[in-house]
Structure 1
Amino acid sequence: MDDAGTRGAVLFDFGGVLTTSVVVAFEELGTELADEPKLLLRLLSKDVESSALLVAHEEGRIGEREFETGFAARLRAHGAAVAGPGLVRGLQERLRPDPDMIALVARVRSQGHRVGLLSNSLGDDCYAGFDLPAMFDAVTVSGEIGVRKPSRRAYEIACRRLGARPGDTVMVDDLPQNIAAADRLGIAGVVHRDAAATEAELARLLAPPAGT
């Protein structure tokens, strides 16, 4: 349900949307740490203890150091000789800003649409280098609100902060499961792959700028 050409607000994810690929960053780190690109993502998605650590950290119930310590122990249990400190920093160093997407956020906003950030946080300082309050009309971060995507509550809070109804909003995210969750609330979704394709899809979904 996208109601093409009628929507007036956009929620953008952070990692993998405003930055280079999170998946690639995890794979590069896995290769460096254990010569196994898929190891970190496999544990975070399939290993119960690793997944619980990630959820607790993204929801703000444990800090970066506690997450790193616990996740390093799970990595060691799977054969990787890894120390905890520096795991999150190693991932963040592999995420680079995507200037085309940063420009797109500004362009969408300049056209009169409200723009917000809805991000699952990873790390105590994962947004360093980004002036989020200057870029967005509203910023919603999982570690601050105590709930993460794909929880319905996360989208509801983000829309309320943005001052937009779900049915008037588009979500841009690199993970299809987060788009599917948004759709259940009536939020139209764009699965991000590159700036050009995302801009084309937003042009289809958003109402034309006033005066055009």
Structure 2
Amino acid sequence: MKIVFDFGGVVFRWHPASFLARVWSHRIATPEQGAEAAAVFFQNYGGDWGLFDQGLIGADEVVRRISARTGWSHGDVETVVRAVPDELMPIPGTVALIRDLKAAGHSLYFLSNMPEPYADHLSASYPLAEWFESGVFSGRVKQSKPVMPIFEIAERQFGAVGAELLFIDDHPANVDAARSRDWQAFVFTDAASARRELVSRGLLSA
């Protein structure tokens, strides 16, 4: 089986509300405020941030646009954008899952909405070539999930048709999009439940 992993929130830590609460401790006092700020800042990965994800604008421009749109200071917005790479730490349970899946003989790939600067950071900082046979970063192909072209690009790059692929992503919209291409897919909530799902599919031993 060819198994495709999302990155943020699946392989690498990404929880925008708590991230903003840490980076903006002067602005955010409660988890609820963190969630509200994250919704405005990242626009559910559309808008300004969506263009950044797709590699259509760079870091300086996304900072300028978010600051202009929200009224938050340029410095505060830039602090967040620059802090993202350090937030993207590997999730130990998922790394163990990757190693176990490889040991079981499965081919692993990734499909990630990731701006180019962060894709470059992850490629330089972690053994992606050891974990995965290949992968697609949105910022490098100028398309992003859940729009169909990025799934088509992935199929070509992975040399597979939809039915041969199992996709693991933490956003239901992306899982639904993959299923519409006839990919197998399920929503990731944590590494332990993902392991149980893979065991139930016969892809790992209990």
TM-score tier after normalising by the smaller chain length: 0.7 to 0.9
Contact 2:63 2:78 in 1 (8 A): yes
The aligned length equals 196
1:145 pairs with 141, 154, 157, which one?
A: 141
Match of 1:45 in 2: 43
Identity %: 26
5+ residue gaps, structure 1: 1-7
Q: CA deviation at 1:16?
A: 0.4
Match of 1:58 in 2: 53
Please give the per-residue CA displacement for 1:26-54, whole angstroms capped at 9, x wherever unaligned: 442575353231233322337xxx93211
Letter aligned with residue 37 of structure 2:
L
1:176–1:69 CA distance, 2 compared to 1 (3 A): same
Please give the per-residue CA displacement for 1:84-143, whole angstroms capped at 9, x wherever unaligned: 433222233333211220121122122121110100013613415222122101110001
Supply the distance in 1 between the matched residues of 2:62 and 2:139 (Cα, whole angstroms).
Answer: 13
TM-score by length of 1: 0.81
Supply the distance in 2 between the matched residues of 1:186 and 1:41 (Cα, whole angstroms).
Answer: 32
1:87–1:27 CA distance, 2 compared to 1 (3 A): closer
Q: CA deviation at 1:184?
A: 0.7
RMSD: 2.4
Contact 2:20 2:80 in 1 (8 A): no
Match of 1:4 in 2: none
Supply the distance in 1 between the matched residues of 2:173 and 2:34 (Cα, whole angstroms).
Answer: 22
Supply the distance in 2 between the matched residues of 1:143 and 1:172 (Cα, whole angstroms).
Answer: 19
5+ residue gaps, structure 2: none
1:15–1:130 CA distance, 2 compared to 1 (3 A): same
Contact 1:75 1:82 in 2 (8 A): no
2:10 pairs with 7, 11, 17, which one?
A: 17
1:24–1:109 CA distance, 2 compared to 1 (3 A): farther
1:75 pairs with 67, 70, 81, which one?
A: 70
**Structure with higher helix content:** 2
Q: Which has the higher contact order (CA 8 A, sep 6+)?
A: 1
Corresponding residue SS for 1:93: helix
Contact 2:17 2:37 in 1 (8 A): no
- Return structure 1 stretches of 4+ with deviation > 6 angstroms: none
